[in-house]
Amino acid sequence: MSFQAPKGTFDWMPPRSEWALIVRDALSAPARRAGYGYVETPAFEDTGLFARGVGESTDIVTKEMYTFQSRGGQSLTLRPEGTAGVVRAVLEHGLYGGALPIKLWYSGSYFRYEKAQAGRYRHFSQVGAEALGAEDPALDAELIVLACDGYASLGLKNVRLLINSLGCKECRPAYRAALQDFLRGLDLDEATRQRIEINPLRVLDDKRPEVQAQLVDAPLVTDHLCGACKAYHEEVRSLLTAAGLTYADDPRLVRGLDYYTRTTFEFVHDGLGAQSAVGGGGRYDGLSEMVGGPALPSVGWALGVDRTVLAMEAEGLISERPGHVEVFAVPLGEEARRRIFSLVAQLRRDGVAVDMSFGGRGVKGAMKAADRSGARFALILGERDIEAEAVQVKDLTTGEQTAVPLAEVVDVLKGKLA
């Protein structure tokens, strides 16, 4: 019997997996610099948390959740997104009783039973950031800027920012009624007609071409915003412009979750085909109340690690190997292996990334391994070198080779790598 990864999933394998780590670090670094603390929540939660928080009318809840019964009889669900679990953790641990806003970031795996295709997986990775407990357009703008900074640090040039406002509980009812009147006149299947009555915004998020073709003249939420929402949205836009960001207004952008209010945004990359979104988020001022907590206006985003790697590949930013090994050690003989092993350990303790040749390879095979490692320098130790209490340091870029006393090689290498 042979086993394979389940349909809709894949394994991250070296060297490509190294880029997934680089992407996670790059996307989270701006948030960490802005005072966001790390939070880690369970990979599964009570099913009711997602039914109430994400929304019972969403495709995520009705079609895509991995739900199972625990041995104790509780209905549990593998998390399909990160925000609801973070809000649950904040409420459970009473963080809302301290200084606000609460700034948190996280990274992990998420699960949705979707049609498997390029860029859309049933097990995927995201980096997320949430700011909870403050209704401030500057906070919305801050998070958008942090995400843009993360993409830029990876060298991505073709990530586009789309923004919209979904209004608030004051102005949303009038828009909801206008949208429902429009949608009821369309030729839609019964399941979609039921969605019109539960949450008509979800119909706007329907990706089927035959549905989208009928939505061309649908009323726009931006035409129904109250004065407060218009002013809030204009302030967000003004702050983004002041920060030097380029964005496009997309009045049809609604995202796929029920909890969004006011600011909503998406990052798209045109090199990914149909699955062009690489990240997105928005404000969710009512989510805390939905899951049994106090009023806690909040905003956040989630950025896809998998799709960001695909975007980097589309722009030619992925090299064959990210080159994390700086030095490769080549021992020639048993005594050399013993001596160089302790040298490698010392270099690693001093912060140098070092690998070495294993398995008793000859010099030719060991040097090929050194070249494949992406290291800048090779350390070569043979019998004559041991007698001379020296080691050969070879620059793998220029081919230049120098004998360095064993007692000095750590300082010499650190100087060359500085």
pLDDT per residue rounded down to tens, the chain (418 residues) = 799 999 999 999 988 899 999 999 999 999 999 999 999 999 999 999 998 888 766 777 878 999 999 999 999 999 999 999 999 999 999 999 999 999 999 999 999 998 877 778 999 999 999 999 999 999 999 999 999 999 999 999 999 999 999 999 899 889 989 999 999 999 999 988 988 888 888 888 787 899 999 999 999 999 999 999 999 999 999 999 999 999 999 998 887 666 788 999 999 999 887 778 999 999 999 899 999 999 999 999 999 999 999 999 999 999 766 667 999 999 999 999 999 999 999 999 999 999 999 988 888 999 999 988 889 999 999 999 999 999 999 999 999 999 999 999 999 999 998 8
Instruction: Quickly count: other Cβ atoms within 10 Å of residue 259's Cβ.
Output: 24
DSSP state, residue 36? P
DSSP state, residue 222? G
Measured CA to CA, the distance from residue 297 to residue 138 in angstroms comes to 13
- Known binding residue 408? Answer is no
Report the run of H or E that residue 203 belongs to, with start and end: helix 201-204
Q: State residue 247's pLDDT score.
A: 97
Q: Report residue 131: phi and psi, to 5°.
A: -120, 110
- Known binding residue 360? Answer is no
**Model pTM?**
0.89
Q: Report residue 181: phi and psi, to 5°.
A: -60, -40
Q: State residue 57's pLDDT score.
A: 61
Q: State residue 194's pLDDT score.
A: 87
Q: How far is CA 405 from the centre of its chain?
A: 46
Measured CA to CA, the distance from residue 125 to residue 115 in angstroms comes to 17
- Known binding residue 150? Answer is no
- Known binding residue 255? Answer is yes
Residues 6+ apart with CB under 8 A from 178: 219, 224
- Known binding residue 399? Answer is no
Q: Can you read off the two tokens belonging to residue 34?
A: 């802005």
- Known binding residue 210? Answer is no
Contact 283, 298 (CB under 8 A): yes
- Known binding residue 259? Answer is yes
